[in-house]
Amino acid sequence: MPATNCYCGNEKPFATCCEPYIKNVQKAPTAEALMRSRYSAYCIVAGDYLVATTHPSTRKFHDKASILEWSKSNQWLKLEVMYAEETVVEFKAFFLDAKLKANVHHEKSRFEKEDGSWLYVDGVFY
């Protein structure tokens, strides 16, 4: 990753891309921006943010311990957003698992906006 690019692949630094969302300084303006910031949160193991941006109705399926385990045991390589509309984002996240085996997490995620904040609801996995 070039130093000027955010973890999420946007061509701007983390500090002006995903970090303001993860630090709750700003709200992600779109579902895609939230999705990208959640990917960056996995890269930096920001478990609280990942829990906080999961919709309350599905939060029980994503407890913080397993989120932290999943984010720490993998080495996140890159994100490719394949398709984004208002409430749906399809993406591929490339990573090395704990055995350094190359993997791709391919998901079409659904998001909802509540009280001005985008939240991850659930996804279809390929």
Applying CB under 5 A, the residues found at the interface with Zn ion are: 6, 8, 10, 17-18, 36
77 with 92: CB under 8 angstroms? no
Task: Quote the least distance from Cβ 101 to Zn ion, whole Å.
Answer: 26
For 85, what's the count of Cα atoms within 13 Å in the CB-facing half-sphere? 4
User: Measured between alpha carbons, how far is 17 from 75 in angstroms, rounded to an integer?
Assistant: 20
Is 21 in a helix, a strand, or coil?
helix
Task: Quote the least distance from Cβ 17 to Zn ion, whole Å.
Answer: 3
In the complex with Zn ion, the residue whose CB is nearer, 43 or 67, is: 43
In the complex with Zn ion, the residue whose CB is nearer, 10 or 75, is: 10
DSSP category for residue 101: -
* E runs forming strands in 20-65: none
